[in-house]
Structure 1
Amino acid sequence: MEFARAELVSAVTPIEPLPNLSALLGIDLHIKRDDLAGTTMGGNKSRQLEYYLGAAQAAHADTVLITGAVQSNFVRTAAASAAKLGMKTIVQLEARVPDVDALYGSNGNVLLSRLLGAEVMYYPSGEDEAGADAALRERAAQERQAGRTPYVIPLALGNPPLGALGYMRAAEEILQQDSAFDVVVIASGSGLTHAGMLAGLRAVGHSARVIGSCVRRDAQQQRKRIRTVLDALAELTAHASQVGDDDIMIWDEALTPGYGQLGPPAAEAMAMMARTEGLVLDPVYTAKVFAAVPALVESGEITKGSRVLFVHTGGLASLFAYQSALENAFPHG
């Protein structure tokens, strides 16, 4: 089956060695710079949006509606990508993170979404995916009555996981660059990036372990979600049917204290990457993902000498909304 694709990632993102961390950890560590993918601070969501916005174009949509957390990179990247394609964007921001300050609600991705011309609406719950999708569809109906042609990018399970196709493509891209990795460490949130990478590798018979680091749910919940996404993805493409339950590897020890909150493992990972390789991670996704690498080396789950690829999925815009948390984690002096 062919799927419409809007070309948002026009160049191959590099794979770079991390020599200092490799020496420190005793592994051969590389980084896939998907923080450079797409437009306006980029990230993995650009690859997912190629298929959602491709479908929107095929439907002749002029308005895109999307939901996510207040500091969602997905909604900000959707606003940027839709602007590039000449579409209006309505972003719905969900209250997922407790005890936030004023900066969280106004800086980072929120500020960029407004700059990009997105209309912002709000949803009071951060744990009601079906309800958030229903609110978008209700608003889409209003847009339709006003003479526009809306396209909803859904969040909840039960919708075709078009975004996962983007990371099946990313898996192909990685293998064309370098196919000799033993382990791939990647974010596991909505499940589209993780499931797509896993399905893409297995589709061509590559046996690298794909370890998803949880950014929103614990390991038990996330394992079920990845299985559900993979089963739905297999309905879109037979290439996704090669993934067994044993292939779904989940790590959640940096999730604490919860989604969108900076805990000690993530803060330590941010410091390690910044001070060893000069690369910055964000507190919501990539710091929690990279935290898996030294922890799994220490536990022996990633053996010394392994060739490891860490997928940097971007998200740096949200950094500027976390000033208070970062100042607490890295005090002056």
Structure 2
Amino acid sequence: MNLAKIARRRYTVGATPLEFLPNLSRELGGPRIHIKRDDLLGLTSGGNKTRKLEFLMADALARGADTIITTGAVQSNHCRLTLSAAVKEGLKCRLLIEERVEGSYNEEASGNNFLFRLLGAESITPVPGGTDLMTRMETMAQEVIAEGGRPYIVPGGGSNALGALGYVACAEEILTQSFDAGLDIDHVVCASGSGGTHAGLLAGFYGNQSGIPLTGISVRGAKGPQEAKIHGLAQQTLALAGAQLQIPVELSVVRDDFVGPGYSLPTKEMTEAIKLFARTEGILLDPVYTGKTAAGLVGMIQEGSFEKDSDVLFVHTGGSPALYAYPNESLG
């Protein structure tokens, strides 16, 4: 694989830290837990979408776009960071917000919704859950064209093959850091939502023949369809990166038993995981993605999925601004 052949913007200086979490490891009685701090990526308040946007925004600029169109749920980290990247590149941005939980959109809400307004989104359009989002974004693009503009559509979560290259790059970064630290990673745990992060890591680890097992904790989709989506996207991403390899389907592993009643809806395990990370390591998680992913990590440890003396890496994909819109769910 040679990512240098693909146009890329850079929004982060250097690599994000890979840290050992001694207090959390001790609290849970092993394994040794490490964390990849992608909450510290560049752009407004950081998070995993920044890596994807480095490739997507380079493509938008190469195509001469002047207006970015994207979509996400209420409190979307992806929308926040896409808007931030557009601001940085001097482009306009229009947001399509899907109300996946009926009645959940509040124009005056804190968290990411506040940042949408602060960063100056050209428009924010809420639509009901289940809306055909791509068709609606294509309509928005035609409106931009009719106004004399040049639109570029970024898919939800930045999760196409081009965006997922950001997490091929992250996998390579993790391998370099672990080699430099003399750290033999036994397992990696990440969030599995729109799929770009999970699929990119899968493609990156497999394409570099690392042999590191990867488990995605679903925040929305059921295990079977989510595993199929991740495998397909990882295969497309690997091909785009220039690797002529076939990823075994059994390497796409998703746990869907920590979703709870639905996307963004609180669970007791999520609340406890957020408090645990905050009170042992001073690390903030969010209720929608990383909180449930951490709940999955803790659950896997409690059920004995890892050896006590193994080294497990938790990929922190950011999202802490959403904490301020869910204070009760976050603190219990």
Structure 2 length-normalised TM: 0.92
SS in 2 for 1:231: helix
Specify the code of the residue in structure 1 equivalent to 2:290. Answer: T
Is 1:323 aligned with 2:314? no
The alignment partner of 1:301 has SS state of: coil
1:124 aligns with 127
Who is 1:27 aligned against?
A: 31
Q: 1:287 aligns with which of 277, 283, 291?
A: 291
Partner of 2:152: 151
Alignment of 1:227-242 (within 5 A): 227-239=231-243, 241-242=245-246
Q: SS at 2:93's partner residue?
A: strand
Amino acid at match of 1:134: T
Cα-to-partner distance string for 1:139-184 (whole Å, 9 max, x where unaligned)? 1111112111111112399x95211100000011111111421111
Q: CA RMSD in A?
A: 2.0
2:100 pairs with 1:96: yes
What is the rounded CA distance, in whole Å, between the counterparts of 1:75 and 1:240 in structure 2? 33
* SS in structure 2 of the partner of residue 178 of structure 1: helix
What is the correspondence of 1:20-59 to structure 2 with a 5 Å cutoff?
20-25=23-28, 26-59=30-63
Return the match for 1:257 from 252, 261, 266: 261
**Inter-CA distance 101–122: structure 2 relative to 1 (3 Å threshold):** closer
Q: Aligned partners of 2:247 and 2:224: how far apart in 1? A: 18
2:195 matched to 1:191? Answer: yes
Q: Does the CA contact (< 8 Å) of 2:93 and 2:122 recur in 1?
A: yes
Aligned partner of residue 118 in structure 1, secondary structure: coil
Equivalent runs, 1:166-245 vs 2, <5 Å: 166-179=166-179, 180-239=184-243, 241-245=245-249
Q: Give the stretch that moved more between structures: 140-149 or 200-209.
A: 140-149
Counterpart CA distance in 1 for 2:235 and 2:52 is: 18
User: Deviation digits for residues 216-259 of structure 1, max 9, x if unmatched?
Assistant: 11212211211221233244234373421111111122210211
* Residues 48, 197 of structure 2: 8 Å contact kept: yes
Match of 1:17 among 17, 20, 32: 20
3-state SS of the aligned residue for 1:212? strand
- Give the alignment partner of residue 113 of structure 1, picking from 116, 121, 129: 116
Partner of 2:161: 161
Q: What is the identity, as a one-letter code, of the residue corresponding to 1:277?
A: E
> AA paired with 2:79?
V
Gap regions ≥5 residues in structure 2: none
Q: Relative to 1, partners in 2 of residues 1:73 and 1:239: Cα closer, same or farther, differing over 3 Å?
A: same
Whether the aligned pair in 2 keeps the contact of 1:199 and 1:240 (CA below 8 Å) is: no
| Residue aligned with 1:38, SS | coil
Q: 1:36 to 1:16 in 2, by over 3 A?
A: same
Distance (whole Å) between structure 1 residues aligned to residue 281 and residue 157 of structure 2: 37
Aligned partners of 1:71 and 1:249: how far apart in 2? 27
1:299 is aligned with what amino acid?
E
The answer on whether the counterparts of 2:18 and 2:37 sit within 8 Å (CA) in structure 1 is yes
Q: CA deviation at 1:105?
A: 5.7
Secondary structure in 1 matching 2:125: strand
Determine whether 1:71 maps to 2:75. Answer: yes
Q: Secondary structure at the match of 1:291?
A: helix
Distance 1:295 1:325 in 2: 19
> So what's the TM-score if we normalise by structure 1?
0.92
Percent identical among aligned pairs is 40
Conserved? CA contact 1:230–1:240, under 8 Å: no
Structure 1 residues 23 and 241, CA gap change in structure 2 (3 angstroms): same
Equivalence for 1:308: 312
Shift of 1:99: 5.1
Distance 1:219 1:227 in 2: 12
